[in-house]
Each structure stands twice: as C-alpha cells, then as structure tokens.
C-alpha cells in the first residue's frame, strides 16, 4: 500500500530514512543522490521535487528538495516529521554572506535563525519563540567538520521571507545583530522541528556577498558545495 500526503507519495515498499538531507533545489537533491549515495532510488517525485533513499557508508540516508522559502520547507518538513517517520532533517543550502567574518564559499552552520517571517504566529504563543537547531545535530556536524579538516563557522543566520526587500537597509540591520548570512528556510524548519520535538540543522555555503556583488553561478550552486554535503552526510550516518 502506498503512503501519500498532498505533497509526497511513496510507492509500495519505499520509505524515507531516519535522516533526510534537504537542499532547496531539486536538481541539487538529484546530484547528491547520484554522486554520494549507493543504490539510490527515486521514492518521491510529486511536483518534480526529487526525493531519494540510498546508502552512505552502508547506512540509509534520504535526500529531498524543499523548494524555496519558509512556506515550502514548512510543508515538506511537517509531512516528513509527522507522517513518514523522519527524525532528523539537515538543510544543505546556499546563503548570502552578511558578516565581514564570512567570504564566498564559506560554510556556516545555523545555531539560531533570526527571521522576519510570521510563521510562528500559528502556534499562538504568548511570546516570541527562538528558532534554534538541534544541539545533537550541531555537535555532531561540528565534530565531523573538524575531523575532515573543513572549516565551518557556527552562528546565527537571518531567514528572510523577502528576497527583494523594500527596505534597502534590511540586510545591514541584521548583520549588525550578528547574523552571519541570509537564507530563506531555516526558521520554518527549526520551528516545525521544535513543535514536534524532532531534530533540525541548517548548513549553508555562502554563494554570494550582497554588499560586494560577488557571487557563484547557478551551475556552481547546483553542482558544487561538496564539503557542506559531506559534512551533512557524515552527520547523518552518526545519527543513525
């Protein structure tokens, strides 16, 4: 019997691993599965979102795209956590560097996700939640990066609902609040994980520097950033 939600449909006998790597771009999901996983099978392709399960170092790992923005990752992470038995989601994406501490192609792990999103309003809290990562995932990822000799910076990111913001000083203000980089998904992922007491971590590669105009090409964003992916995969197998 197939398992299905409005956005994910698994055929008979197919399943997600306990840990899912989640890039935004479906083609990056395809690249990760074909490059890094053994015996990778396409298990979901509703809306061409590309979901795979395969083996990395002999252990099951899944990878599926989230699409762009908090509403999109909010849907996919909710369904994975609630209906498909997923315990850990590691976002592997790109981000725009805001801090002078980061340069192009730096890897940053998101400790906490500052945001301008109203996603948390649905929870009807009396205060403001702090979207934060799973310490277990972060500690494991930091350890893996260190053992691999890969520098990975850890700090807060800014999860923005607006790629084209009417406030021209928006990024400068969040940089002044200590945000290392800007992306568009981590806060929604973290809040979903917190609500259902699962684990989430966002690891991003700096693909552009808004203040200087430096950037990687779309092809580079899709097909490279392999150090980030390797850290995430090593983290996944240790969480098994």
Residues with active-site annotation: 208
> What average pLDDT does range 12-19 have in this prediction?
94
Q: Coil, strand, or helix at residue 133?
A: coil
pLDDT exceeding 70 applies to what percent of the chain? 98
pLDDT in tens, 17-70: 999 999 999 999 999 999 999 999 999 999 999 999 999 999 999 999 999 999
Q: Which residues pair with 205 in a beta bridge?
A: 94, 107
Higher per-residue pLDDT: 177 or 220: 177
pLDDT band at 90 (very low <50, low <70, confident <90, very high): very high
Instruction: Concatenate the DSSP letters of all residues of 94-114 into one string.
Output: EEEE-STT--TT-EEEEEEEE
What is the average pLDDT score of the chain? 95
pTM: 0.96
| 184-196 per-position pLDDT tens digit | 999 999 999 999 9
Average pLDDT over residues 104-114: 97
CA angle 13, 14, 19 (to 5 degrees): 135
* pLDDT at residue 223 tops 80: no
Alpha-carbon gap, residue 160 to 115, rounded angstroms: 6
Mean pLDDT of 109-121: 98
The span from the CA of 56 to the CA of 58, in Å, is 5
Phi-psi region of 28 (alpha: psi -120 to 50; beta: other; left: phi over 0): alpha
Among candidate residues 8, 223, 5, 203, the one with its CA nearest the CA of residue 110 = 203
pLDDT at position 240, please? 78
């Amino acid at each position: 019997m197939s398992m299905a939600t409005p956005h994910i449909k698994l055929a008979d006998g197919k399943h997600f691993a306990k840990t899912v790597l989640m890039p935004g771009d479906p083609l990056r999901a395809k690249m990760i599965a074909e490059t890094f996983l053994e015996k990778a099978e396409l298990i979901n392709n509703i809306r061409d979102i590309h979901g795979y399960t395969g083996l990395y170092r002999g252990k099951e790992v899944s990878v599926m795209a989230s699409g762009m923005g908090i509403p999109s990752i909010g849907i996919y992470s909710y369904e994975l956590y609630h209906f498909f038995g997923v315990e850990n989601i590691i976002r592997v994406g790109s981000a725009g560097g805001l801090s002078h501490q980061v340069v192009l192609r730096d890897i940053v792990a998101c400790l906490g996700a500052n945001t301008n999103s109203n996603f948390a309003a649905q929870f009807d809290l009396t205060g403001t939640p702090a979207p934060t990562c799973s310490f277990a995932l972060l500690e494991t990822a930091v350890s893996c990066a260190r053992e691999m000799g890969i520098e990975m910076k850890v700090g807060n990111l800014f999860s923005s609902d607006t790629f084209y913001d009417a406030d021209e000083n928006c990024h400068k203000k969040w940089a002044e609040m200590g945000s290392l980089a800007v992306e568009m998904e981590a806060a929604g992922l973290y809040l979903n994980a917190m609500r259902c007491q699962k684990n989430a971590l966002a690891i991003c590669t700096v693909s552009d520097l808004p203040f200087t105009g430096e950037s990687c090409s779309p092809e580079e964003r899709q097909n490279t950033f392999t150090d980030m992916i390797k850290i995430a995969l090593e983290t996944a197998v240790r969480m098994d």
